[in-house]
Structure 1
Amino acid sequence: MSSDKTTVAVIGLGIMGSPMAVNLVKAGYDVVGYNRSKAKTEALVAQGGRAAESVADAVSAADVVVTMLPDSPDVEAVVLGEEGIVANARPRSLWIDASTIRPDVSVRLAELAGRRAIRAVDAPVSGGEAGAIEASLSIMVGGSADDVEAARPVLDAVGSTVVHVGPAGAGQTVKAANQLIVAGTIELVAEALVFLDAHGVDAEAAVKVLAGGLAGNRILDRKAAGMIAREFAPGFRVDLHHKDLGIVTSAAREAGVAIPLGAVVAQLMGALRARGHGSLDHSALRLLVDELSGRN
């Protein structure tokens, strides 16, 4: 390892974290990864990264720590535990949380990290597994201007759109809005596809023309083919989108904001999960529309 390399610890090597870590290796960073499943760290080592035995081991010599974890309690445990970031990261190191968690938790953890002189930014991502693999993620970043600029080279290595959206927690708030839009759009695309099928229209031809007009959107571009084929290998799991919509509905309630369509989609996502489809891609909302229409 050359001494002039920036060391980046990546905690959480799942569907998103693993390709992000690989892209950091490709960008020339010294990347050390930790994941509860050792198979994930072994895959990173095969791509030129290093493996850590614990969170403490990963972060103790890191210049930058990136967390990509499922939910708020997971991030809290990694940040605040005895083996965690606050207790073991170096002063003035930079913690980038790319997880999607509650904005209020993000603000609180950033404050706690700051008391130990650890700089913190929240930088949740959008773009799914494909975006992570292609390093084309859209990243919404909350934190101080100086800390965001310090994080920008790392974020530029994994994303193509990196925007500072406000102070600590603002990135998570924008991500909540993103998840609201994505879930609503998936539901409407699912309904449109079932509607087309019911009328005997060629769905692939219909999607081609719809994608070229005002109805065009990324869901049609990236998800429609799988929805038509009823193939739902996860790029972003129902379980996680269900969690995200819980964040949205809670934050909207706290702010006194009405999200009637969002609330319905949150219930539909929850119903899909309750039917045992939590491990499928969120585009599996198509299955629920089929069922509700008596077409499954």
Structure 2
Amino acid sequence: MTETVGFIGLGIMGRPMALNLVKAGYDLVVHARRPESMAPLAEAGARTAASPAAVARDAAIVFTMVSDTSDVEEVILGPEGVIQGVRPDAVVVDMSTISPSSTRMMAERLRAAGAAMLDAPVSGGEAGAKAGTLSIMVGGEPADFARVRPLFEAMGGNVVHVGPSGAGQVCKSCNQIVVGATIAGVSEAVLLAQASGVDPRKVREALLGGFAGSRILEVHGLRMIEGDYTPGFKSRLHRKDMRIVLESAQELGISLTAAAMVSEWLDLLVEHGLGEEDSAAIFEVIRGAVGET
């Protein structure tokens, strides 16, 4: 734990992830756009920096966790970005969910500066970030993965090196397709039960014991039945991820019909002011409570 570690982006996911690194004993320097976001980390013993470049000058391993592709490009390649201060032996680890092609471009730029990059998006939501049980999907060189793995294990319970640069982001896109399509399937099952006059709670209970059982059915099925969409993962963020999925599909010349439908439903939620609700609210679109007016 002798290397200084940097963490940039201290939002709903980044803050608890960074706190878990502090709890694990790492010397941490952090940066966020809003000074108030850094306060909990400073109170926990981390140092603060004025810019991503300042973090990079101080840290051998630099994590980024921000919202979208453009945000990551600004944090890493911008005028005050990581690349402006990155050490030749550093590893930059982006844990955001962004475009695989953009990830590969940034990895090349960092490689030219003498540094390495891993893409390591996560699944598990805020609860997983707080508990340190995230699933972490990693793309990049095996040696760089081995160097960073102990830090990943302070933040996640399932850490998999998927393949070369961009493979982690591809894996996250696959995750979001499965999550979105499964939400749709659970939504239709709940709707069918309700329309048939059968208690959907009992249906959910029965299905959880069989082959249809899943975390989506367990967690989001209950959200649908109770109409409680307090976010674990916001619809607008799921919409952003599905946009990345469909952009990747277009680049590859393939058709992803289920993903396209899920994306349309998420568009409707955001357009009707429900972007801050959990994406389980897709159920409300499927049952006809949200739609064109």
TM-score by length of 1: 0.93
The superposition leaves residues 148-190 of structure 1 with CA deviations (integer Å, 9 ceiling, x where unpaired) of: 1111111111111111111101111111111111111112212
- Offset of 1:128 from its aligned partner? 1.2
Q: Partner of 1:29 in structure 2?
A: 26
Contact 2:239 2:263 in 1 (8 A): yes
The counterpart of 1:184, out of the listed 181, 189, 193, is 181
**1:51 deviation in Å?**
2.5
Aligned with residue 60 of structure 1, among 57, 60, 65: 57
Runs of 4 or more above 6 Å deviation: none
Does the 8 A contact of 1:142 with 1:171 survive in 2?
yes
Separation of aligned partners in 2, 1:117 and 1:186: 43
**% identical aligned pairs:** 43
Could you tell me whether the CA contact under 8 Å between 2:17 and 2:130 is conserved in 1?
Answer: yes
- Give the unaligned 5+ runs of structure 2: none
C-alpha distance after superposition, 1:198-248 (max 9, x if no partner): 233322222122111111111122322222222222221111111111111
- CA separation in 2, counterparts of 1:42 and 1:172? 30
Which of 200, 204, 207 is the aligned partner of 2:201?
A: 204
1:16-165 alignment to 2 at 5 Å?
16-165=13-162
**1:112, distance to aligned residue in structure 2 (A):** 0.2
Change (3 A) 1:11 1:293: closer
Q: Rate the CA distance shift 1:187–1:57 in 2: closer, same or farther, 3 A.
A: same
Q: Secondary structure at the match of 1:60?
A: helix
Aligned to 1:241: 238
CA RMSD of aligned residues (A): 1.7
Give the AA of the match of 2:90. S
Which AA in structure 2 matches 1:61? D
Range moving further from structure 2, 132-141 or 198-207: 198-207
Letter paired with 2:6: A
TM-score, normalising length: structure 2: 0.94
2:276 maps to 1:284 = no
The answer to whether the 8 Å contact 2:191/2:287 transfers is yes
Equivalences, count: 291
Does the residue aligned with 2:287 lie in a helix, a strand or coil?
Answer: helix
SS at match of 1:236: coil
Kept in 2, the 8 Å contact 1:15–1:235? The answer is no
